[in-house]
């Protein structure tokens, strides 16, 4: 099984302001995308074999808005690509790992994902996404 870092999620107050530094560096920034169920607007910035995901809240009650209110802007999560998401989730549940939600959801770019609770990962919110075959 091959695992890799898919992206680093960064909570920002303003996509416009946050993405400008990457554009000034000459990096390509994806068009904005909204994920209604997560109440966020985002862009992806490819960096090598991984990406940076800049996340802006679209509602005061979104996870990103709450994160920024509590901790300020910054690293929100690490996302790891896994070959078989359903098998990974089943294995984690079997081993008693705490998930934010056991439901596999579909998000930005059509990726299937699930979040592992920071209590089970040494304080880091871990997102798992399925590798596209």
**What CATH number corresponds to the domain at position 109?**
3.10.180.10
Strands 4-12 and 50-57: parallel
Cα end-to-end span (Å), the chain:
13
Residue 32 has pLDDT above 90, yes or no: yes
What is the reported pLDDT for 1?
A: 55
* Predicted TM-score (pTM) of this structure: 0.90
41 contact partners, CB below 8 Å, separation of at least 6: 15, 32, 33, 34, 35, 55, 56, 58
Q: Of 80, 75, 90, 95, nearest to 130 (Cα)? A: 80
131 — pLDDT class (breaks 50, 70, 90): confident
Structurally, the chain folds into a number of domains equal to 1
Domain containing residue 14: 4-130
Please give the Cα distance from 100 to 29 (Å, whole number): 29
């Amino acid at each position: 099984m091959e695992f890799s870092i898919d992206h680093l999620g960064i909570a920002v107050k303003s996509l416009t302001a946050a993405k400008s530094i990457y554009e000034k560096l000459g990096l390509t920034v994806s068009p904005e995308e909204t994920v209604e169920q997560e109440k966020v607007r985002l862009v992806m910035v490819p960096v090598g074999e991984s990406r940076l995901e800049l996340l802006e809240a679209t509602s005061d009650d979104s996870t990103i808005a709450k994160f920024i209110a509590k901790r300020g802007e910054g690293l929100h999560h690490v996302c790891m690509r896994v070959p078989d998401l359903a098998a990974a989730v089943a294995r984690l549940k079997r081993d008693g790992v705490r998930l934010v939600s056991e439901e596999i959801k579909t998000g930005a770019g059509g990726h299937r994902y699930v979040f592992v609770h920071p209590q089970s990962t040494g304080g880091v919110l871990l997102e798992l996404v399925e590798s596209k075959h």
